[in-house]
Amino acid sequence: MKLFSGNANTRLAAEIAGQLGMNLGKITVSRFADGEVNVMVHENVRGKDVYIVQPTCSPVNENLMELLLMVSTMRRSSARRITAVIPYYGYARQDRKMQARVPISAADVARLLEAMGVDRVVAVDLHCGQIQGFFGPRVPVDNLDGGTVGVSYFGDKDLHNPVIVSPDAGGVYRAKKFREGLAQKYDVDAGLAMIIKQRARANEVDRMDLVGSVVDSDVVIVDDMIDTAGTLAKAADVLVTNGARRVYSFASHGLFSGPANERIVKSKLEEVVVLNTIPLTHAHEANAKIVQLSVAPLIAQAIYNIHQKKSISALFK
């Protein structure tokens, strides 16, 4: 087995390697003078099972091109099997045609990876589960549940009358799983609520309505990603207005684009907890409200189970 990393999140890749008790493979992913990606592998991978750790986070196109060329390089170097470990799958939000003359980018990225010769994909909390079906049957996709890491964190907190909140109708299933995890692992009987939001346009929420009760409760907003944090800050205001004591947030992917950092600082949120699928900038690390948990043990266990031909579904129990 060989484990390689692109430039997107070398710290996470090193953590995963440490969990597996191995060193990262020797590879150079640099740029030519005109900005083209230059990949060079410095060790033999012929007949090896290769795992490439590369989230396609910002800059998305740069990191995606690195991943595609690394997969292609390994295929041309006669690797036996290539698994792309993509902690954050970029372009996942365009998963269907919501209007005329737009691409289905999540499916197009899947086809690009297949064309380069990937054999398996491991992701963490895909924005939409159906992305697994965008890959053909010869390329299985393991969608790891990052919520298990969040459950462990919040289960150890002394939450008063906890309520798990989904920030939209599409995330109710994720919130229910989080609630069930707290009940099974910590015997915490949490409530469930949902916010219905009306969007004026992309990244701009017009109105929010709460379904459920959060009076005198510590609330955890559970989502898959935080982008500009506009929705999150408004949701916290709505919950406090409706009687919540403290408002926390958990999301697997902290993109924190544009004004996100400033919005979080000014918001009524106690903590914004994310996984390290995407590296934080220095400004975000300095934000006292942002807490980052490591997903490396979960990914390392998944890689070990795949390599040893053991069950992946056992990780979700």
- Residues 122 and 154 both lie in one domain: no
Same domain, 41 and 125: yes
Task: Say what the pLDDT of residue 239 is.
Answer: 95
* pLDDT, position 201: 67
Domains identified in the chain, total number = 2
Same domain for 304 and 212: no
Across the range 125-141, mean pLDDT stands at 94
pTM above 0.85, yes or no: yes
Phi, psi of 205 (to 5 degrees): -95, 130
Q: What is the mean pLDDT of residues 113-135?
A: 95
- Residues catalogued as catalytic: 197
Contact between residue 249 and residue 234 where contact means Cβ atoms under 8 Å apart = no
- Do 13 and 131 fall within a single domain? yes
Residues 188 and 289 in one domain: yes
pLDDT of residue 222: 97
Least confident of 44-53, 64-73, 204-213, 252-261: 204-213
Task: Identify each DSSP E strand in 202-296 by its residue range.
Answer: 204-211, 218-226, 246-254, 271-275, 290-293
> Domain containing 208 — which CATH number?
3.40.50.2020
Residues 132 and 161 in one domain: no
Among 22-31, 190-199, 203-212, whose mean pLDDT is lowest? 203-212
Q: What is the pLDDT of residue 46?
A: 98
- Residue ranges making up the domain that contains 237: 147-294
103 and 162 part of one domain: no
- Pick 303 or 128 by higher pLDDT: 303
DSSP symbol at 229: S
The pLDDT of residue 208 is: 84
**First vs last C-alpha separation in the chain:** 26
In this structure, the answer to whether residues 93 and 200 fall within a common structural domain is: no
Query: What's the chain's average pLDDT?
Result: 94
Q: Is the same domain home to 33 and 90?
A: yes
The arrangement of strands across the sheet holding 290-293 comes to: 204-211, 191-201, 163-166, 218-226, 246-254, 271-275, 290-293
Strands (E), 87-214: 120-124, 141-144, 163-166, 191-201, 204-211
Mean pLDDT value of segment 177-185: 94
pLDDT classification of 202: cutoffs 50, 70, 90: low
Q: Is residue 193 located within the same domain as residue 301?
A: no
Query: 25 and 63: one domain?
Result: yes
Q: Are residues 109 and 23 in the same domain?
A: yes
pLDDT value for 110: 97
Query: Mean pLDDT throughout 219-237?
Result: 94
Q: Note whether 32 and 38 are within 8 A (CB).
A: yes
* Chain segment 85-119, per-residue pLDDT in tens: 999 999 999 999 988 999 999 999 999 999 999 99
Interval 33-43: pLDDT, tens: 999 999 999 99
